[in-house]
Amino acid sequence: MFKALADGTRRTILDELTEQNGQTLFEICARLATKHGLASSRQAISQHLDALEAAGLVRASREGRYKFHHIDTAPLEPIVERWLRKGREHEDQPAQHDGR
């Protein structure tokens, strides 16, 4: 899941899907090339989408020969609260550096 976000191209794909949800593979390829200047091959993008889908960040729905990709930000929320919320509770207690 974090590994899915580690790649810049995949993050751009998520950007593209937030702007226009439910795009097909070829649509994404075209918009990445034109708007973002990325010259990635179709297979590369396809594998990126596989990774995003495996991470639960993208859900795909098949209709005919088209496959529409929808972003799903649900997996994102609990994970950031993991450090953001808890960080506020107890501020910066100095550690005991008594050896060990």
Contact residues toward a copy of itself (CB under 8 A) are 2-3, 5-6, 11, 14-15, 18, 20-24, 26-27, 30, 66, 68, 70-71, 73, 76-77, 80, 82-84, 86-87, 90-95, 97, 100
Beta carbons of 83 and 77 less than 8 angstroms apart: no
Query: x-or-dash pattern for DNA, window 47-86, by CB under 7 A?
Result: xxx-x--------x--xxxxx-------------------
- What distance in Å separates the CA atoms of residue 46 and residue 53, rounded to the nearest whole number? 10
Angle at 80 between CA 78 and CA 82, to 5 degrees: 75
Nearer of residues 26 and 35 to a copy of itself, judged by Cβ: 26
Least distance to DNA, CB of residue 70, Å: 13
CA distances from 76 to 35, 49, 54, 62, 63 (A): 25, 17, 14, 24, 27
- Binding partner of 55, given DNA, a copy of itself, none, CB within 5-8 angstroms per partner class: none
